[in-house]
Amino acid sequence: MLICPLCQAPLSPVENGVACPAGHRFDRARQGYLNLLPVQHKKSRDPGDNSTMVEARRRFLDGGHYAPLAARLTELAAERAPRRWLDIGCGEGYYTAQIAQALPEAEGYALDISREAVKRACRRVPQLSWLVASMARVPLADASCDLIASVFSPLDWQEARRLLAPGGGLLRMGPTGEHLLELRARLYDEVRDYDDTKHLSQIPDGMRLAHSETLDFVLALDTPDVRADLLAMTPHGWRASAERRAAVIAEPFEVRVSIRYDWIERLA
């Protein structure tokens, strides 16, 4: 299942890690994850979300504010009954852990490019295979996944097609144009339109959209800590001015949560 990120040969277990026939070896961290992101594949020293962003997301999600989103994601995953699944861009593991709970008999993998995120994520469900790896060079074999979950994550479509077994699919969860609209209006002079169907034009040959739905609800941001964490876990936290961020944290308000789910199948 696992392949070497340097030569793409199969990886086999060795003492405290994995190795390929060519002698490339990757040790398992004390937290339990494998780092399969070679230094030559990094664009920075510590790519991905930093510890501040990861901790803000962990606090916000563990507070249950996006619980309806996770519940519907896991229902959709369970309906597909995959034998082997991958959470690509798993972050700190909130959604991954709930998918794992819904699929107790399936073999699960999860990866993120952020080492800080994966260090925290693997505490949630130690029995999963947790990986620090690139989404553009996923160290898993061709046609090895029945389901790939992509939650608020960028995606390499060619990699997704390579990884999916025929009849398997990508379960994508992402924002609609209405998502957090009230927050964006407080942060920017002009709120830009967001086309939540743009990704459909990127679906490669050999895959097709089989199902779409949207989930909407209103979320009350009652405390300064919740508002600060929401800012810190989104790109809006560093795009907006310090004055606008402070104003958002200062006063309670409500936001609209609006999320689109797509099931995109790999054709047989």
Q: Report the binding-site residues for Zn(2+).
A: 4, 7, 20, 24
Confidence of residue 239 (pLDDT cuts 50, 70, 90): confident
Percent of the chain with pLDDT over 70: 96
Question: What is the structure's pLDDT at 19?
Answer: 97
Mention every residue, 6+ apart, whose C-beta is less than 8 A from residue 122. Answer: 31, 32, 33, 93, 128, 130
Mean pLDDT over each residue of the chain, to the nearest integer: 93
Structure tokens at 179: 């998502």
Q: Look at residue 39 in the predicted model and tell me its pLDDT.
A: 66
Q: What pLDDT score was predicted for residue 238? A: 79
Torsion angle, alpha carbons of 161, 136, 148, 141, to 10: 70
pTM of the prediction? 0.94
CA 252 to centroid of chain Cα atoms: 28
Task: Check pLDDT > 90 for residue 255.
Answer: yes
pLDDT tens readout for residues 166-197:
999 999 999 999 999 999 999 998 888 888 89
Q: What is the pLDDT of residue 235?
A: 82
Binding-site positions read: 4, 7, 20, 24, 66, 92-93, 179
Binding residues for S-adenosyl-L-methionine are 66, 92-93, 179
Cα 243 from Cα 250, distance rounded (Å): 11
* Angle (deg, nearest 10), helices 67-80 and 94-102: 40
Report d(CA 187, CA 234) in Å as an integer: 12
Task: Go through the domains of the chain in sequence order and give each one's CATH number.
Answer: 12-266 (3.40.50.150)
Of the candidate ranges 36-45, 89-98, 149-158, 217-226, the one whose mean pLDDT is the lowest: 36-45
Could you identify the residue written with the tokens 């709930």?
98
pLDDT of residue 47: 58
Count of beta carbons in the 10 Å neighbourhood of residue 235: 9
